[in-house]
Chain A
Amino acid sequence: MRAVEVSPGTVLGPLRKTITQQKITRYAGASGDHNPLHLDQDFAAATQFGGTIAHGMLLLAYLSEMLTAAFGSRWLETGRLKVRFRGPARPGDTIIVKGLVKAINDPTTVTASVECRNQVGDILINGEAEVTNSRGLP
């Protein structure tokens, strides 16, 4: 895998993932997060969400995968991320993960806006990511 050459305006991704209850349940097992909001249909149906939703950290894993594909080891060694969770991802949703390079500073720091949306365009996560390059080549 090779990191992409980036400049302001470069689009990162998109990465697409489909959410299923099976994936949510598998993530619950790996993470140890057994919140019934993710796993219990009856409990979740009685909440504001009306049904189970994916763990926010599952979506963050998808975001990290997109950033790894875009920036390679720079993300894995120097990445910084600041995001807000804006909406739920539900079983059956297709998640589109992408970013946009906003600036290259000093000149080794790349700043990008990042987001996860569902198939109808609702923002589920948005925020900003940064990577630096100690070799000085953005």
Chain B
Amino acid sequence: MEIIYLLIPLSIILVGLIIAGFFWAVNSGQFDDLEGPAYRILQDQDELDKRRESDKDGSSS
């Protein structure tokens, strides 16, 4: 069981890295809007694509 003297410090380092990553995410605004992005993926692109398509249609005909 002596291995835990190595593994537990390792896990603590890992937790430290996780927390550092989490802090980075919070500070860089990853958690500012938790709902918007889920909708955004559905909205803008479709409209844009459609408009582009209709533009293309308009120019070809």
Chain A bound to chain B: no
Tell me the A residues contacting B by CB distance below 8 Å: none
Tell me the B residues contacting A by CB distance below 8 Å: none
